[in-house]
Structure 1
């Protein structure tokens, strides 16, 4: 691992954008405005903005690499490696793959989730981004509760979310187009899918005690928990009482306010900001940010979204860029319990991205340093990269 110096850039230091230089050594930010000459590689960031790497605590765009068309599967290692390239090229240096472990067969099945976890663990050292496993547990999936509790106890799960899509699934049975999409990803016939949904929905009485046991297991293991699509303040309170302190995509303002009042992290989707609203017609994320009711933006289903969203918020006057960037760096790092990243500060992990933001609404990543390694460099950035001979640097 060679030292890297980054000079002449507009750096986000604390809450200010200032011209500064950074020295990276041994995977960390060794110094800000270092006194000694650089050695190793020097990156001239003149005209660029230098920002901490994006921490994405909920991204499931990798599913499209696993199954780009309904019923068309690709090897998980191929999907993960390609997803890693996509994430890093969009400035994401820490990625939590949000993996649905459902009662469904097919793409979101238990078997697929197991294979994905094993692939992440085996490929982790080869991936440029720090890649972690965010398990989205469908709460009606009672059959796999014991296995999931064992994974929690073994600390193989990095984030644990409670999902309940049963009502929307049952409602989808009356909507042919949406129902067909769900049927296609399971590989079942339409009739078999309908029978499966009816059987799973019938055991709702056992779900609350299953949630309680899983929450207890996660608390004992020190694994942070999220609840997905909370639809009322009462629902958010109930989850908080079980140690679930991250509210993921609350569906209305009243629920977001309850989360904020309880000190919970509040996650919305960055695509919501980029597109100007939710594709489901629910809460508008930019309004929640303006009201102080959002602490984290996640890529959700589109890796370019966090970068674009931060700049969109600044361009629209919702908040200045340093505050917008906190929503995709320091904010998600805090929510996930990662105290070693999210800011440009001495001693922190060297996750650094260089941005050409000359077009305010179309920022472009030109270089990425992840854990002290240069992992992405565009052709334009190569003009700014110079290897500094150690003999010269030492003079």
Structure 2
């Protein structure tokens, strides 16, 4: 790994932003405020913010690379590599690909989930971001239970979420456009879709026991769990009793308050903050943050959103940048059990983002370091030196200069 020296930036340290320099060696931050600049690569960070890399617990924008148009598929390895570039160029250095395994055929089928998992495992050493597998189990997907339990036992799942979109799917009959999108995604006819939904709904009484068994399997393997779209304090309490301690996108303030009172991590979507509200018309994330009812922001369906959201929260006076950045770095790292990242401190993983925030609400990523490697550089004038004895750059790194 290349030694890197970051000179003179305004770094987020101990809850405050102050001018300092950082030294990186062996993939870790080796010194804060070092008194020398001997390194293979030097970066001039003067006038820039130096921030911990973004930890994204829930991102499914990769689906657009897999299927950019309904019925138009691209190879999963191609989609993953493209998604990796998008994530890292937006400051995301730890990415959990939120993969839905539904009872549906098509994009969210078991075949696709399995192929994506295998591709992540195969490509992981080549990807710039620390790439992990977040499995989102549709709770009516009962036939998948044995395979998911095996994946959990084998340590192949990094985060595990319970989803239940059945009510909205049934209700989509009254929303022709939404229903058409679902049918298109599945790649089947309207009649086949209706028949499939009827068969799945007929097994509703089996769902609670399946959830309980899978939650036990996840607890036994120490996999952190999330529940998606909790709609009441009672629902949140029921999941918490099974060890599901992350509330993902609670749909009303009452449920978010119950989660916060119990000490649960609460995730909302960063696009919600950037756009000024939810695209579904549900809870406004900035309001929840202001009330202390959101502890984590995720990219959801748009990789640029976490960066933009943190700076918007600061500009809008909701949270100062140091606290806003915690929502996309240190807090998600804690929730996922990643004790080696999320802050800038000696001995921590060197996941670092250099940001030019001169233009309000339009922060620009200048450089990204992931596990001690320079993986993105948009301004080569910031590169101050490379020592003659430094190792040969890898193709991905050489392309930056």
Shift of 1:38: 2.0
Aligned 1:202-217 pairs, distance under 5 A = 202-217=202-217
1:294 matched residue in structure 2: 294
Q: Does 1:310 align with 2:273?
A: no
Q: Map Cα deviations across residues 168-197 of structure 1 (whole Å, 9 max, x no partner).
A: 000012211100000001000010001100
Partner of 2:49: 49
Contact 1:299 1:306 in 2 (8 A): yes
Deviations 1:63-113 (A, max 9, x none): 000000000000000000000000000000000000000000000000000
Please list every run of 5 or more consecutive structure 1 residues that lacks an aligned counterpart in the other structure.
Answer: none
Residue 119 in 1 paired to residue 119 in 2?
A: yes
Q: Distance in 1 between matches of 2:127 and 2:317?
A: 36
2:396 counterpart residue number = none
Contact in 2 for aligned 1:38/1:388 (Cα 8 Å): no
Listed as ranges, the matches of 1:315-326 within 5 Å are 315-326=315-326
Q: For residues 175 and 273 of structure 1, what CA distance do their matches in structure 2 show?
A: 26
Offset, 1:388: 4.3
Give the aligned partner of residue 20 of structure 2.
20
Rounded to whole Å, the distance in 1 between the matches of 2:71 and 2:350 is 40
Rounded Cα–Cα distance in structure 1 between residues aligned with 2:34 and 2:244: 42
Secondary structure at the aligned position of 1:212 is classed as helix
What do the CA deviations read for 1:365-389 (whole angstroms, capped 9, x no partner)?
Answer: 01000000000001x2x11112243
CA deviation digits over 1:133-167, x for unaligned, max 9? 00000000000100000000111000000000000
Shift of 1:35: 2.5
Structure 1 equivalent of residue 246 of structure 2: 246
CA distance in 2 between counterparts of 1:58 and 1:91 reads: 15
Q: In the alignment, what sits opposite 2:383?
A: 385
* Corresponding residue number in structure 1 for 2:8: 8
Q: Is the 8 A contact 1:39 1:390 kept in 2?
A: no
CA distance in structure 2 between the partners assigned to 1:3 and 1:219 by the alignment:
39
Which residue pairs with 1:39 in the alignment?
A: 39
Taking structure 2 as the reference length, what is the TM-score of the superposition?
0.96
**Aligned pairs for 1:77-156 within 5 A:** 77-156=77-156
Provide TM-score, normalisation by structure 1: 0.98
Distance 1:183 1:3 in 2: 51
Give 5+ residue unaligned stretches, structure 2: 391-401
Local SS of the residue matching 1:339: coil
Aligned residues: 390
- What is the deviation of 1:2? 1.1
Cα distance in 1 between the residues matched to 2:17 and 2:237: 38
Q: How much does 1:211 deviate?
A: 0.3
Residues 260-295 of structure 1 deviation map (CA, whole Å, 9 limit, x = unaligned): 111100000000000000011111000000000111
State the shift of 1:360 in Å: 1.9
Q: How does 1:69-80 map to 2 (within 5 A)?
A: 69-80=69-80
SS at match of 1:112: helix
**Contact 1:173–1:194, Cα closer than 8 Å, also in 2:** no
* Aligned twin of 1:348: 348
In the TM superposition, residue 391 of structure 1 has moved relative to its aligned partner by 8.3
The residue that corresponds to 2:398 in the other structure is none
Tell me which residue corresponds to 2:270: 270
Question: Is the Cα contact below 8 Å between 1:106 and 1:112 reproduced in 2?
Answer: yes
Distance 1:2 1:151 in 2: 35
Alignment of 1:144-183 (within 5 A): 144-183=144-183
Task: Measure the CA separation in 1 of the matches of 2:322 and 2:200.
Answer: 46
**What is the CA–CA distance in structure 2 between the aligned matches of 1:351 and 1:318, rounded to whole Å?**
26
Bigger CA drift: 301-310 or 166-175? 166-175
Matched residue SS, 1:93: strand
Structure 1 stretches of 4+ with a deviation exceeding 4 A read none
Q: CA deviation at 1:14?
A: 1.2
Secondary structure, in 3 states, of the residue corresponding to 1:383?
Answer: helix
Task: Specify the SS of the correspondent of 1:100.
Answer: strand
CA distance in 2, matches of 1:317, 1:3: 38
Q: What is the rounded CA distance, in whole Å, between the counterparts of 1:266 and 1:147 in structure 2?
A: 28
> Could you say what secondary structure the match of 2:361 adopts?
coil
Residue by residue, what CA displacement relative to the aligned partner does 1:229-264 show, whole Å, maximum 9, x if unpaired?
Answer: 000000000000000000000000110011011110
